[in-house]
Structures are given as C-alpha cells and as structure tokens.
Amino acid sequence: MFILGIPVKDDVCVLSKEADKFAKVFVNEGKIEKIDYVQNRDDLLGSVHFFVTPKEEYVFDFLETGAEPLMTPRDGMNIAEIVEAFLFRELYSYGSI
C-alpha cells in the first residue's frame, strides 16, 4: 500500500498555499482504497509515502520524513487522475526537473 498526500481545492491538486484541505489517498493493489482529509499540511508529515503538487514548492519537510515529492505533468488534475498517473509512473520526481 502507498499513501499519497495531495493538497486540494475542490478535489483538484493545487499548491499547498491555495489548498482548502489535504487528501491522504490510500492506494492498494492499483486502486484507491480510501481517502481521508486533513485540514493542515503538517498533518501529512510522517504519514505519507509521496507528496504530490502541481508545481515546485517547499518540500524539504517531506523529504526529512521519508516521503518522496512528486509533481503532476499538468495543472488541474483531480485525485483520480493523479492516482492513475502515479500508477503509470507519469508523475515527475523533483530530481528530474
């Protein structure tokens, strides 16, 4: 199982400073098992394997807790699209940009 942390506004991935909540997406055997929401970005620290954003932002706090930061290939992606891109390895690593 993998847990993705995604800042969202209206279930669309946005920068953390624009998010109205943060999704913890539990992906098990290629499917979304459940989605929990937290109100604070810090609540994701230490509890997600990956942190997904649409553009570069401060992610060293996630790196320090062992989570890999990833970027979406395009703006406006919803949670289901991000999970699909994650499964097909279409998200960008911060190290590859």
Q: Count of domains in the chain?
A: 1
pLDDT tens profile 64-88? 999 999 999 999 999 999 999 999 9
pTM above 0.75, yes or no: yes
Structural domain of 85: 2-96
Mean pLDDT of the chain: 95
- Strand 68-71, strand 50-53: pairing: parallel
* Domain of residue 15, CATH code: 3.30.420.130
Report whether pLDDT(31) > 50.
yes
